[in-house]
Amino acid sequence: MANYPHKRLRRLRYNPIVRDMIRETELSKNDLIFPLFVVPGEKVRNPIKSMPGNFQLSVDELVKECKEVASLGIPAIILFGIPEHKDEQGSEAYDENGIVQKAIRAIKAEVKDLLVITDVCMCEYTSHGHCGVLKGEEILNDETVSLLAKEAISHAEAGADMVAPSDMMDGRVLAIRKALDYKGFSNIPIMSYAAKYSSGYYGPFRDAAESTPAFGDRRSHQMDIGNGDEAIREVESDVEEGADIVMVKPAGPYLDIIWRVKEKFGMPTAAYQVSGEFSMIKAAAQNDWIDGERVMIESLVSIKRAGADMILTYFAKDAARYLDKVRK
């Protein structure tokens, strides 16, 4: 039986005050994590061409940037390092004087109230640009896992508040958890890139992190774009291994995965709105094809509505400024 005319869903949409009252999902600054790229040198602020408004920063400039990020009320950053020197074993990844380790110490010394998360992977540090140690063209899983554990420890020793392994090797969460605990870092949480897809949306990031593989691609460890059940198995194994927060990456094209992961595990869930998602919106906005601010917020609210508790996004600063503006 039809419920019209006594039932009218538009009734709650006429008055803007009522609209605000019944909104189910609202973006907050507490949802935001800002990715940053640190490079060697001083006073370096290289614009990343394919990611307008983002820069490769030397440690001194990074500290300034972090002060601004904190003053905007953004609670956290995630750090990616571009080392001076790359080699087959990616040895700067776990060097106490590596670029990320220096950056963490500088931020921790100078910036208050900012959570420093570090990306843990080998691809920025290896001369071949792959996420692990190679034998011929194969990425060796277990050998890579032990280097990742060393890398995570060196980040924790430098003062990182949380580590985020992004490599997608099997067993790395357990290895990192054991290594951190053994070294006395049992309180450092692990945010695992649990369901990370082999995605074309990472294109601009590889400019930023200078981590394009010298040959081949990442399909032997990152997930196939067509798979959903497999994402559940990936997340399940990371949860069993001790992940504290699980991540889905990319975010916008994988909202169904975010939803399924949140429904199934009820874990604190992160989503990474990756460089390609960001750059497409920026580019369209620069051409006046879309209202950039409106689409930015819509993209972030959608990710949150799908179930994400936190969003890694290059829009973090823009979104924080927007939230200040609308709250006035």
- Catalytic residue annotation: 196, 249
Q: Which range of residues in 127-135, 136-144, 169-177, 247-255 is near Zn ion by CB under 5 A?
A: 127-135
- For 215-243, letters b (16+ CB in 10 Å) and e give eeebeebbbeeeeeeebbebbebbbebbb
CB 167, min distance to Zn ion, A = 5
- Report the alpha-carbon distance of residue 210 to residue 275 in Å, rounded: 13
Binding positions for Zn ion, 259-278, rule CB under 5 A: none
Nearest to 144 by CA among 153, 136, 135, 155: 135
Binding positions for Zn ion, 85-104, rule CB under 5 A: none
Nearer to Zn ion, 121 or 297 (CB): 121
CB 71, min distance to Zn ion, A = 31
CB 130, min distance to Zn ion, A = 8
Q: Which range of residues in 66-74, 126-134, 155-163, 264-272 is near Zn ion by CB under 5 A?
A: 126-134
Of 123, 175, 194, 243, which one interacts with Zn ion (CB under 5 A)? 123
Q: Is 320 a residue that touches Zn ion (CB under 5 A)?
A: no
| Helix, strand, coil share of the chain (percent; to 5) | 45, 20, 35
- Report the alpha-carbon distance of residue 164 to residue 132 in Å, rounded: 16
Nearer to Zn ion, 121 or 188 (CB): 121
Nearer to Zn ion, 114 or 123 (CB): 123
- Report the alpha-carbon distance of residue 179 to residue 288 in Å, rounded: 50
Q: Which range of residues in 45-53, 118-126, 224-232, 247-255 is near Zn ion by CB under 5 A?
A: 118-126
Nearer to Zn ion, 111 or 133 (CB): 133
Nearer to Zn ion, 128 or 177 (CB): 128
CB 109, min distance to Zn ion, A = 28
Task: Tell me the two tokens of residue 14.
Answer: 């006429």
SS3 state at 183:
coil
- Report the alpha-carbon distance of residue 56 to residue 46 in Å, rounded: 5
SS3 state at 226:
coil
Of 27, 33, 131, 194, which one interacts with Zn ion (CB under 5 A)? 131
Q: Is 247 a residue that touches Zn ion (CB under 5 A)?
A: no
Degrees (nearest 5) of the Cα angle 147, 158, 202?
60
CB 56, min distance to Zn ion, A = 17
Size of the site for Zn ion (CB under 5 A): 3
Return all residues near 186 (Cβ < 8 A) that are at least 6 apart.
180
Of 62, 106, 121, 274, which one interacts with Zn ion (CB under 5 A)? 121
- Report the alpha-carbon distance of residue 278 to residue 289 in Å, rounded: 15
Q: Which range of residues in 117-125, 237-245, 277-285, 289-297 is near Zn ion by CB under 5 A?
A: 117-125
- Report the alpha-carbon distance of residue 196 to residue 220 in Å, rounded: 12
Nearer to Zn ion, 93 or 245 (CB): 93
Q: Is 323 a residue that touches Zn ion (CB under 5 A)?
A: no
The alpha-carbon radius of gyration of the chain (Å, integer) is: 20
CB 90, min distance to Zn ion, A = 10
CB 93, min distance to Zn ion, A = 10
Q: What are phi and psi of 205, to 5 degrees?
A: -55, -40
Nearer to Zn ion, 93 or 296 (CB): 93
Binding stretches for Zn ion (CB under 5 A): 121, 123, 131
